[in-house]
Amino acid sequence: MSFYNRSLRTRIFLSMIFLVIGTSILIAVVTIFQYKEEAKDYHQQRLLRKEKNIRKSIDYVLKTTTYPVITQKIPLIFKDKIFEIKDINGLDMYLYDLNGNLLISSEADFLKHTEPEKISNEYLNGLKNSIKKSFVAEYKLNNKRYRSAFTYITDRQFKPLAILNIRYPEDDSFINKELSEYLYRLGIAYMFMLIAAIVLAYFLSRYITKSLKTITQKIIDTNLNQRNKKIEIENKMSYEIGTLVQAYNQMIDKLEDSAAQLAASEREAAWREMAKQVAHEIKNPLTPMRLTVQSFQRRFNPNDPEISQKVEEFSNSLIQQIDTMSAIASAFSAYANMPAQKDEQLDVVKVTKLALDIFNENYIRFQADKKQIIANLDRTQLIRIITNLVKNSIQAITQQNPDEPKINVHVSENEKNIIISVSDNGLGIPEEHKNKVFEPKFTTKSSGMGLGLAMIKKIIKTYKGTITFVSEENKGTTFTVILPKNLS
- Kindly report, residue by residue over 381-394, the tens digit of the pLDDT: 888 888 889 988 88
Q: What is the 3-state secondary structure (H, E, C) of the chain?
A: CCHHHCCHHHHHHHHHHHHHHHHHHHHHHHHHHHHHHHHHHHHHHHHHHHHHHHHHHHHHHHHHCCCCCCHHHHHHHCCCHHHHHHHHHCCCEEEECCCCEEEEECCCHHHHHHCCCECCHHHHHHHHCCCCCEEEEEEEECCEEEEEEEEEEECCCCCEEEEEEEEEECCCHHHHHHHHHHHHHHHHHHHHHHHHHHHHHHHHHHHHHHHHHHHHHHHHHCCCCCCCCCCCCCCCCCHHHHHHHHHHHHHHHHHHHHHHHHHHHHHHHHHHHHHHHHHHHHHHHHHHHHHHHHHHHHHCCCCCCCHHHHHHHHHHHHHHHHHHHHHHHHHHHHHHCCCCCCEEEEEHHHHHHHHHCCCCCCCEEEEECCCCCEEEEEHHHHHHHHHHHHHHHHHHHHHHCCCCCCEEEEEEECCCEEEEEEEECCCCCCHHHHHHCCCCCCCCCCCCCCCHHHHHHHHHHHCCCEEEEEEECCCEEEEEEEEECCCC
Q: Is the pLDDT score of 54 beyond 70?
A: yes
472-478: average pLDDT? 88
Share of the chain above pLDDT 90, in %: 9
Label residue 6 by pLDDT band (50, 70, 90). low
* CA distance to 276, 325, 338, per residue, from 328 (Å): 13, 5, 16
Q: Out of 73-77, 78-82, 348-352, 452-456, which region has the weakest mean confidence (pLDDT)? A: 452-456
Label residue 379 by pLDDT band (50, 70, 90). confident
pLDDT value at residue 442:
39
164-174: average pLDDT? 81
pLDDT value at residue 419:
93
Label residue 9 by pLDDT band (50, 70, 90). low
Q: Is the pLDDT score of 149 beyond 60?
A: yes
Of 240, 247, 249, 253, nearest in space to 211 by CA: 240
pLDDT value at residue 480:
94
Average pLDDT score, the chain: 78
Label residue 448 by pLDDT band (50, 70, 90). very low
Tell which wins on pLDDT, 159 or 250. 159
Q: Is the pLDDT score of 479 beyond 90?
A: yes
136-151: average pLDDT? 83
Name the range with the highest mean pLDDT among 5-14, 457-466, 476-485: 476-485
Q: Is the pLDDT score of 136 beyond 90?
A: no
Angle at 447 between CA 337 and CA 276, to 5 degrees: 55
pLDDT value at residue 113:
47
Name the range with the highest mean pLDDT among 123-137, 211-225, 227-241, 334-348: 123-137
pLDDT digits (tens, 9 = 90+) for 313-331: 667 767 766 766 666 666 5
Sheet holding 407-413, edge to edge: 364-368, 407-413, 417-424, 476-484, 466-472
Label residue 184 by pLDDT band (50, 70, 90). confident
pLDDT value at residue 45:
84
Tell which wins on pLDDT, 227 or 48. 48
